[in-house]
Structure 1
Amino acid sequence: MSYVDGFVIPVKLTDRQAFIDHARHMDAVMIEEGALRIVECWADDVSEGKQTDFYRSVDRQEGETVCFSWIEWPDKATRDAAFARMMENEEMMNTPMPFDGKRMIFGGFEPVVVLEKKHG
């Protein structure tokens, strides 16, 4: 069984490299804490919808885009323990974020369907 955390984050277009640098630093910590895989994505082909869309979900402002990220964990218990340790890590909690964390949406998800292409 696995567990997935998902995130949608508003980021200033001018902060792309700062976002990448921040992600590399913080993601390395999460890998050390037990994460199996982390994927950070910068919007490339994201449409504006008529009722809802990724941009509205984070109240995108002028000069911003959205980033979509996920973390794969072996299970929820590993994720919960890692998050508890990270919340106690002063360096991690005091590292400035190159995005508006108040408008970030996130949550934990239990996979119900997982398909993978077989190699070979």
Structure 2
Amino acid sequence: MPNIQNSQANYIDGFVFPIPKQYIEDYKVIAQQVAEIWKAHGALAYFEYIGDELTLEGVKSFTETLQTKDDEVVIFGWVVFPSKDVRDLANKNVPEDPRMADLVAPLINPKRLIFDASRMVYGGFKPLI
């Protein structure tokens, strides 16, 4: 695995979104495949974590920001790229990758909505320290 620590050249896309608890295992299978597609398009690493401790007194929580329901969990993830240019190209090419269509379809099925993109918080980040 490439060394991604302490690199001021890296660029990161970060995201947070809720999913229904009942679909965690289904989503995990899809996310593992999506990670491989991002890596095939230049990502150095792809991470997704499930929320555990999401509140801290005095600050706005992820659950509050995302307006999660009792039957939902929060997914937090980020994708590491060697540069913003590689990230921009990947963001253009990944949605067009034919493997994505088969993976995304079950996520957005209205009868069994696993992932609602309108509730996702996303951003690209350049190095600070």
TM-score strictly above 0.5: yes
In structure 1, what is the Cα distance between the partners aligned to 2:30 and 2:61?
Answer: 25
Q: CA RMSD in A?
A: 1.7
- Secondary structure in structure 1 of the residue aligned to 2:69: coil
Matches within 5 A, 1:1-120: 1-47=9-55, 52-93=60-101, 95-96=104-105, 97=107, 98-113=114-129
Counterpart position of 2:3: none
Kindly provide the CA deviation profile for residues 7-52 of structure 1, in whole angstroms up to 9, marking residues without a partner as x.
Answer: 1010111111112111101111000001001111011122265662
CA displacement at 1:87 relative to structure 2: 2.7
Amino acid at match of 2:71: G
Kindly provide the CA deviation profile for residues 65-120 of structure 1, in whole angstroms up to 9, marking residues without a partner as x.
Answer: 1011011000010011011112323441462323221100001000111xxxxxxx
In structure 2, what is the Cα distance between the partners aligned to 1:36 and 1:80?
Answer: 14
Counterpart position of 1:118: none
- Secondary structure in structure 2 of the residue aligned to 1:85: helix
Structure 1 stretch 84-93 or stretch 60-69: which is displaced more? 84-93
- Secondary structure in structure 2 of the residue aligned to 1:81: helix
In structure 2, what is the Cα distance between the partners aligned to 1:27 and 1:51?
Answer: 31
Q: Which has the higher helix share?
A: 2
- Contact 1:4–1:72 at 8 Å: present in 2 too? yes
- The answer for unaligned runs of 5 or more in structure 1 is 114-120
**How many residue pairs are counted as aligned between the two chains?**
113
Percent identity over paired residues: 28
In structure 2, what is the Cα distance between the partners aligned to 1:58 and 1:93?
Answer: 26
